[in-house]
Amino acid sequence: MNYFVTSFISILHFISEDLLQCDSSTTIGEIFCEEFDDLDFELALSCFEATHKVAFSDKLWEIDPEEYEDLSVEEFIETYVDTREQRDPLFVTKRFLMYQESLTKALTEEAEEPPSDEY
């Protein structure tokens, strides 16, 4: 298993506080559960990019998650990571601002939802 795959799996485990158990053959779709949602996944992507100073290709951000949910973690990393080192000094800042935008959007949508009938 390559270093990037191992690293990404470690990040997934850390973000989920080890509630998510996966390996290189786990599909991306299998990662999502009650303990790990799309925002957690986006945080993992941002952390991975910041850790390694490599970027996920732009096409990842342009497609629907359904298009890669059947890929294993290893296939996902091999398909979407651009291994060229990012030299833009603001690269990490830009990535975390993208994450902040997603988080703000999710929180806004959650606040706009009608209250649930659960008691």
Measured distance CA(68)–CA(29) in Å, rounded: 8
Measured distance CA(56)–CA(44) in Å, rounded: 12
3-state class of 20 per DSSP?
Answer: coil
Confidence class for position 108, pLDDT limits 50, 70, 90: confident
Q: What is the pTM of this model?
A: 0.83
| Section 84-98 average pLDDT | 89
Q: State the Cα angle at 107 between 103 and 109, rounded to 5°.
A: 115
Locus of tokens 């970027």: 55
Q: What is the pLDDT of residues 19-61, one digit of tens each?
A: 999 999 999 999 998 889 999 999 999 999 999 999 999 899 8
Mean confidence (pLDDT) of the chain: 90
| Section 69-93 average pLDDT | 93
Q: 23, 9 in Cβ contact below 8 A?
A: yes
Cite the DSSP H helix spans in 16-54: 28-31, 38-52
